Amino acid sequence: DQQVKQNSPSLSVQEGRISILNCDYTNSMFDYFLWYKKYPAEGPTFLISISSIKDKNEDGRFTVFLNKSAKHLSLHIVPSQPGDSAVYFCAASAQGGSEKLVFGKGTKLTVNP
Amino acid sequence: GAVVSQHPSWVICKSGTSVKIECRSLDFQATTMFWYRQFPKQSLMLMATSNEGSKATYEQGVEKDKFLINHASLTLSTLTVTSAHPEDSSFYICSARVPGRKAFFGQGTRLTVV
């Protein structure tokens, strides 16, 4: 049973445009969500997080939106840069983030120059 | 920011031997560390939760006698893959949760069993 789903295995966008990565979850106990970026053969790097008390969190070019009723979150990257090309994982946790992280399968983003 | 160091970054071992992977939190104390495994093009799958000073909690389907976890101090957790077989070849990643929210990850260890 996949509790965190990233239904798009890959996404390709043009440099300077917006990248939108989507994530759906099924467990209503999840109340803390994170996005990680991962390069091949490296550990994931934290990007941005959001608590369920918010519906939006912004950090520079990265914005995460949370729609609790739809159990959906998205990561917006604007403007996209070639260096953003990586695999992006969505992760969720319960108990205000103190529980273990459950990851989606990831979306491979390619930003073309 | 908080840093988690994982060593070695890659290792090749013969079938039947054991391999130890270290995970250190460099500038914070981690009472809990997590060990993940990632197969190619798959998600990170939690293997076990390592608690300082107590036994690790293993996820369903993970053999605790094969994947030995020791969390002897607040800054070090080790994962030992015992009697490794080719099917154990994978990418192993540790993480430590900063009290609060974020989890920081080690660089990962690519294990190849030949």
> How many Cβ atoms are within 10 Å of B1's Cβ, its own excluded?
8
How many angstroms separate the CA of residue B3 from the nearest CA in chain A?
11
Q: Please report where in the chains the tokens 């994530």 appear, as a residue.
A: A23
Q: Please report where in the chains the tokens 């260096």 appear, as a residue.
A: A83
Q: What is the mean pLDDT of each run of 10 residues along chain A (113 residues)?
A: 91 98 96 92 90 95 97 98 96 81 94 96
User: Any CB–CB contact under 8 A between B49 and chain A?
Assistant: yes
Contact A69, A12 (CB under 8 A): no
The answer on pLDDT for B101 being more than 70 is no
How much is the pLDDT for B61? 92
How many angstroms separate the CA of residue A91 from the nearest CA in chain B?
10
Question: Dihedral through CA A110, CA B2, CA B7, CA B8, nearest 10?
Answer: 20
How much is the pLDDT for B99? 66
C-alpha atoms less than 13 angstroms from C-alpha of B100 in its C-beta half-sphere: 8
Confidence of residue B27 (pLDDT cuts 50, 70, 90): confident
How much is the pLDDT for B62? 94
Chain B residues with CB under 8 Å of A96 CB are 101
pLDDT digits (tens, 9 = 90+) for B36-46: 998 877 788 99
Nearest CA to B76 among B44, B111, B29? B29
Dump strand ranges (E) for chain B: 4-7, 10-13, 19-25, 32-38, 44-51, 57-58, 67-73, 76-81, 90-97, 103-105, 109-113
How much is the pLDDT for A99? 76
d(CA A51, CA A4): 16
d(CA B57, CA B88): 20
Of B41, B44, B108, the CB nearest to A103: B44
d(CA B98, CA B82): 29
CB within 8 Å: B44 and A42: no
Nearest CA in chain A to B44: A103
Which pairing describes strands A62-67 and A56-59: parallel, antiparallel, or unpaired? antiparallel
